[in-house]
Amino acid sequence: MPGRLEGRVALITGAGQGSGRGCALALAEEGASIAAVGRTESKLVETIREVEERGGRGIAVRCDVTRQGELESCVARTRRELGPVKVLVNAAQSPIDRSSRLLDVGRDVFEELWRSGPVATLELMRLCHEQLRGGGSIINFGSGAQFAPQSYGPYAAAKAAILMLTRAAAVEWGPDGIRANLVVPFVDSPAYRRDFAGDPARLAASLRRIPLGRAGDPETDLGRAVVFLASSDSAYVTGTTLMVEGGAHFLQ
């Protein structure tokens, strides 16, 4: 039986690890061809190797999302080798210290958050707009920091900007047949493990804030939610925020 995304092309940034990789694998399981995009080619190759082992198809595309020329080349190569992009997943964000306070954050760090987050998200959305017409789906990534920004102000600001870009795209591009939604994940990822490295007590306290008692799985929890938003099952869903975080934001 064909998957829900058979014949569609999905471009996923940050696909070399964590949330992005989980989304790539889940989308491939439903038949999508995958453009795995990120900065570390070896990780992208590994993602595509697993996609192909499961019978899927894809390409590894090395790209620094903060560089306009590389974004343009990435989109052009994806269309040339796989076909027009119909699913765009913006999962990338520079792995810098997310816990800076407003008085402490350096301008260079703040600007990097914006270049790798909302600026890259907007540019990829615009570059893919024509290909997404007539049934395309955009899935952008938010963060629980948007709801509880203590100690995460600069990071929360960048993620809040992505939320508003998503809503604006839903309104402006709905007549073009393009849907845009936001996911807010809480998953077991390299970034999550870095936050609690060497501090099991803090990790345990973090997990206690999740009503379901665990961090989500990048593929089976987050990836399947992204499949829903990418597929026709959510054909009347746009401009919304889907919380995929086990209820964590209720206990911030």
Close Cβ partners of 147 (under 8 Å, ≥ 6 residues apart): 249, 252
Distance CA(176)–CA(173), nearest Å, equals: 5
Contact 36, 24 (CB under 8 A): yes
Distance CA(213)–CA(206), nearest Å, equals: 9
Contact 159, 146 (CB under 8 A): yes
Contact 9, 83 (CB under 8 A): yes
Pairing of strands 58-62, 85-90: unpaired
Q: The tokens 């958050």 sit on which residue? A: 113
* DSSP string across 225-250: HHHHHHSGGGTT--S-EEEESTTGGG
Q: Is the dihedral of CA 162, 163, 166, 172 positive or negative?
A: negative
Query: Would residue 155 show up in a list of annotated catalytic residues for this protein?
Result: yes
Pairing of strands 137-141, 85-90: parallel
Residue 223 is given by DSSP the state I
Catalytic residue among 152, 155, 192, 236: 155
Contact 218, 160 (CB under 8 A): no
Contact 151, 103 (CB under 8 A): no
The residues that are catalytic are 155
